[in-house]
Amino acid sequence: MSRPEINVTPLIDVLLVLLIIFMVITPLKPTVFKSQVPSEPNKTDIVTPNPNTLVVSVTSDESIALNLEPSIASANDTEPLVARLKQVFADRIANGSIRSNDTLDSGRPFPDKAERTVFVKAPKTISYGTVARVVDAVKLGGAYPISLQIDDLK
């Protein structure tokens, strides 16, 4: 009786097909990642913040401040923050305060052109879940886009 032998022809065919696929895909791989690193700020320039900038700050004791309004909510009860943001955005719509960069944004969930950008700032000691709850509350308040502020973290 003859001994069984492994037929390697199909295996070689599969390997050749994989080799061809990798040879075709390799040139499509990005070889350069372009990025711009900001230069060191000039200490003599005085930068005035935009008056429409909204910054939601979370402190280490999980209280929430909106710009200069201290402790308007806590991370566990964000309803006052949501109500305050809705009031701010309604006032901006009533006053006609529109975005300075009037670019067409197809993903914008609001038909008005009111400035709705909000920055969320939190220290490193706060848990991810707490920051996520604050971001959800800001989104419920009607903010778009929502950004995380990473400078001056404590």
| Residue of higher predicted confidence among 61 and 38 | 61
Q: Give the pLDDT score at 102.
A: 52
pTM of the model: 0.63
**Averaged pLDDT, 78-88:** 91
Q: Give the pLDDT score at 12.
A: 92
Going by C-alpha positions, the residue among 82, 81, 83 that lies closest to residue 71 is 81
Q: Give the pLDDT score at 30.
A: 65
Query: Does residue 95 lie in a domain region?
Result: yes
Query: Does residue 73 lie in a domain region?
Result: yes
Query: Does residue 7 lie in a domain region?
Result: no
- Number of structural domains (the chain) is 1
**Averaged pLDDT, 38-62:** 78
Confidence of residue 104 (pLDDT cuts 50, 70, 90): low
Query: Does residue 87 lie in a domain region?
Result: yes
Q: Write out the residue range of the structural domain in which residue 139 sits.
A: 54-103+111-148
Q: Give the pLDDT score at 133.
A: 92
Going by C-alpha positions, the residue among 110, 94, 114, 86 that lies closest to residue 102 is 114
Q: What is the pLDDT of residues 123-152, one digit of tens each?
A: 888 888 999 999 999 999 988 888 888 755
Q: Give the pLDDT score at 13.
A: 93
**Averaged pLDDT, 32-55:** 72
Hey, what amino acid is at 62?
A: E
Going by C-alpha positions, the residue among 145, 98, 142 that lies closest to residue 117 is 145
54 pLDDT exceeds 70? yes
3 pLDDT exceeds 70? yes
Asked if 121 and 63 touch (Cβ cutoff 8 Å), the reply is no
Q: What percent of the chain has pLDDT over 90?
A: 21
Structure tokens at 55: 């910054």
CATH number of domain containing 88: 3.30.420.270
Query: Does residue 34 lie in a domain region?
Result: no
Query: Does residue 77 lie in a domain region?
Result: yes
53 pLDDT exceeds 60? yes
CA–CA gap between residue 79 and residue 138 (Å, rounded)? 10
